[in-house]
């Protein structure tokens, strides 16, 4: 009997977020499970912005970042021979993560957390905390700012850390993306 057969990993495409992806892939390899990689375009974060000409392409830019993040997960999964399904959805990150997990019969969620506490957590919120509280399946949180755990996929992720295709994305330049909310769980 396999403990896990479908593992959901929300991703934002960041170098730090690769730790959570790699952990999910390592767990999947041990349990012979499939991985579902999800990128949530946080529409609430830009829906209230004034519609100036400079903001007209923000949705396209966010979806482009999403495609790049999902492609990185696919490459990592190929390296460790784990099957992966991908999806990009719009909405509130915590709500969409839970909705996706339930709608796709995922039996584990693996997601990143920055481990924020105190005033930072109060002001910034925590997607991971919301998911942990509301999910009907177990949630494993991977500390994104801690030591790198051991594992085949983690090693592959860290070796891939900075490739030319990673250059110039919103995550790399410091611009906030919706996926940061999905993996910025702390």
pLDDT given at position 126: 83
d(CA 152, CA 22): 8
Bridge partners of residue 172, in order along the sequence:
none
Would you say residue 42 has pLDDT above 50? Answer: yes
Helix (H, G, I), strand (E, B) or coil at 73: helix
Determine which of 69-78, 123-132, 164-173 has the lowest per-residue pLDDT on average. 164-173
Q: What share of the chain is helix, strand, coil (3-state, %, to 5)?
A: 50, 15, 35
Q: Which residues contact 79 (CB under 8 A, 6 or more apart)?
A: 153, 156
pLDDT given at position 152: 55
Would you say residue 113 has pLDDT above 70? Answer: yes
pLDDT given at position 156: 56
CB neighbour class for 74 (10 Å; exposed up to 12, middle 13-18, buried from 19)? middle
pLDDT given at position 97: 97
pLDDT given at position 60: 81
């Amino acid at each position: 009997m396999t403990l896990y057969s479908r593992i959901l990993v929300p991703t934002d495409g960041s170098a730090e977020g690769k730790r959570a992806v790699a952990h999910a892939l390592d767990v999947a390899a041990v349990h012979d499970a499939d991985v579902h990689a999800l990128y949530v375009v946080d529409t609430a974060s830009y829906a209230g912005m004034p519609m100036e000409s400079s903001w007209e392409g923000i949705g396209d830019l966010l979806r482009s970042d999403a495609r790049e993040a999902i492609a990185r997960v696919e490459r990592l999964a190929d390296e460790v021979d784990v099957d992966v399904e991908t999806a990009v959805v719009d909405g509130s990150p915590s709500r969409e993560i839970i909705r996706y997990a339930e709608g796709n019969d995922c039996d584990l969620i693996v997601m990143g957390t920055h481990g924020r506490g105190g005033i930072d957590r109060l002001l910034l919120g925590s997607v991971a905390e919301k998911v942990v509280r509301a999910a009907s399946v177990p949630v494993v949180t991977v500390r994104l700012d801690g030591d790198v755990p051991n594992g085949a996929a983690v090693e592959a992720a860290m070796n891939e850390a900075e490739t030319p295709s990673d250059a110039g994305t919103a995550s790399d330049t410091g611009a906030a993306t919706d996926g940061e909310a999905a993996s910025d769980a702390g």
